[in-house]
Structure 1
Amino acid sequence: MKPVATLLIAGSLMLSACAGPAIAAEEPVDAPAATRVAKENKGLKTAIFAGGCFWGVEGVFSHVKGVTSAVSGFHGGAAGTAKYDRIISGGTAHAESVKITYDPAVVRYDELLRIFFSVVADPTLKNRQGPDVGTHYRSALVPMNKEQAAVAQAYLAQLGKSGLWSKPIVTAIEPYRAFYPAEGYHQDFMAKNPRHGYILRWDKPKVEALKAMFPNHYRSTFLTDAG
């Protein structure tokens, strides 16, 4: 059993995590199918997505068929600052991110991008998503190979010409640096805390939008770290 002090610290972090002013949730957007389709070889692939609080990013991708792993963590900064209490203080260069492993025979990278921008992240918001503000909540794509990079670049350009948003697309493509998994209590957070206020207000609607908009990609069960 953990010491009481440790439990209190973890609990306070969970209450402060991914929490900002109460504003209206963004509506999902029917992002277009990619004109540049990913041409991926057989075998599992990995990719990293940053789109605000990692609870919701992980929660959505954990309901996507073909995704075999979704890990919340930090990308963009140094190992010494890859800790949640340090991240939220700012100035670390990290972004709350999710590293996913997927089977391109079931869901391609371009399809993951479409899902991401339809129900997870608003690509016009600079250093924020939903109620969460700060550079660690920026939206970014971190391709893990040349094909993903080409597809990501083409898709962002396509979104910019789509007319779906009145503001410019600011989501960046960032080069891969080391990915650091977040603390254990952040993993599978939506599955472990389905009644958490933040989950109910901000992240459950994203999963519901995934189910409604992408029924062929939606998986009813939540993929946990244990599989």
Structure 2
Amino acid sequence: MEKATFGAGCFWGVEQCFRAMEGVIDATVGYMGGHVDNPTYQQVCTDRTGHAEVCQVSFDPAKIDYADLVREFFRMHDPTQVNRQGPDVGTQYRSVIFVHDEQQRVTAERVRDEESSSDRYRAPLATSVEPVTRFWPAEDYHQRYLEKNGASCSISG
């Protein structure tokens, strides 16, 4: 089992999209990339902790390739938007791939370059590729939020 971590706006929809993929074992929403230990959702929403809302995916590399997860990440959100996704605005909604090792970095940058050179986007990609930092799981009520509440968000699966 391997891990992959993505920030693509509202983590509820990101989680739902990844959970639907064959080869994904688990998906947990949380916070990464900030400077406050054990942040709460309320703290992250102040835009002062530096964290992104992320989904950490556990996957079976024998069933799904990391590059396919990265491609799905680009498909599920608008990577040209800076510090926002749809109506959700703030640095916590930034487009970011947190890489767990050098192989993931190379793959994430390669796929980002492929996406950037495609004719799919009318603006430059804002997606950053950054080394993984400590993952702070979000509060329980955020886990499987859309599944439990039947709500929706701007991320599409």
DSSP-derived class of the 1:126 partner: coil
**Correspondence for 1:61 among 18, 27, 44:** 18
- Decide whether the 8 Å contact of 1:81 with 1:92 is kept in 2: no
**AA aligned opposite 1:111:** D
Q: Which residue of 2 aligns with 1:188?
A: 144
1 or 2, which has the higher helix percentage?
A: 1
- Map Cα deviations across residues 57-105 of structure 1 (whole Å, 9 max, x no partner): 0010111111111000000113436110100011111000010100111
Give me the whole-angstrom Cα distance separating, in 2, the residues matched to 1:135 and 1:202: 16
- Decide whether the 8 Å contact of 1:58 with 1:98 is kept in 2: yes
DSSP-derived class of the 2:37 partner: helix
1:156 has 2:112 as partner: yes
Q: How far off its partner does 1:190 sit?
A: 1.2
Give me the whole-angstrom Cα distance separating, in 2, the residues matched to 1:71 and 1:61: 10
**Correspondence for 1:121 among 58, 74, 77:** 77
DSSP-derived class of the 1:58 partner: helix
1:97 has 2:49 as partner: no
- Decide whether the 8 Å contact of 2:12 with 2:146 is kept in 1: yes
Moved over 4 A (4+): none
Q: Which residue of 1 aligns with 2:103?
A: 147
Q: Considering only aligned residues, what root-mean-square deviation do their CA atoms show, in Å?
A: 1.2
1:70 has 2:27 as partner: yes
- Decide whether the 8 Å contact of 2:31 with 2:51 is kept in 1: yes
Q: How far off its partner does 1:135 sit?
A: 0.4
Q: How far off its partner does 1:167 sit?
A: 0.3
Give me the whole-angstrom Cα distance separating, in 2, the residues matched to 1:145 and 1:115: 19
Give me the whole-angstrom Cα distance separating, in 1, the residues matched to 2:38 and 2:24: 28
Q: Which residue of 2 aligns with 1:178?
A: 134
- Decide whether the 8 Å contact of 1:79 with 1:180 is kept in 2: no
Larger Rg belongs to:
1
In the superposition, the TM-score normalised over structure 2's length comes to 0.95
Q: Which residue of 2 aligns with 1:3?
A: none
In the superposition, the TM-score normalised over structure 1's length comes to 0.67
- Map Cα deviations across residues 86-126 of structure 1 (whole Å, 9 max, x no partner): 000111110000101001111111111111111x2211110
**AA aligned opposite 1:146:** E
1 or 2, which has the higher strand percentage?
A: 2
**Correspondence for 1:138 among 72, 81, 94:** 94
Give me the whole-angstrom Cα distance separating, in 1, the residues matched to 2:43 and 2:102: 32
Give the percent of matched residue pairs that are identical in Structure 1 and Structure 2.
38
- Decide whether the 8 Å contact of 1:81 with 1:87 is kept in 2: no
- Map Cα deviations across residues 104-157 of structure 1 (whole Å, 9 max, x no partner): 111111111111111x22111100011100001001001111111100011111
Give me the whole-angstrom Cα distance separating, in 1, the residues matched to 2:58 and 2:120: 29
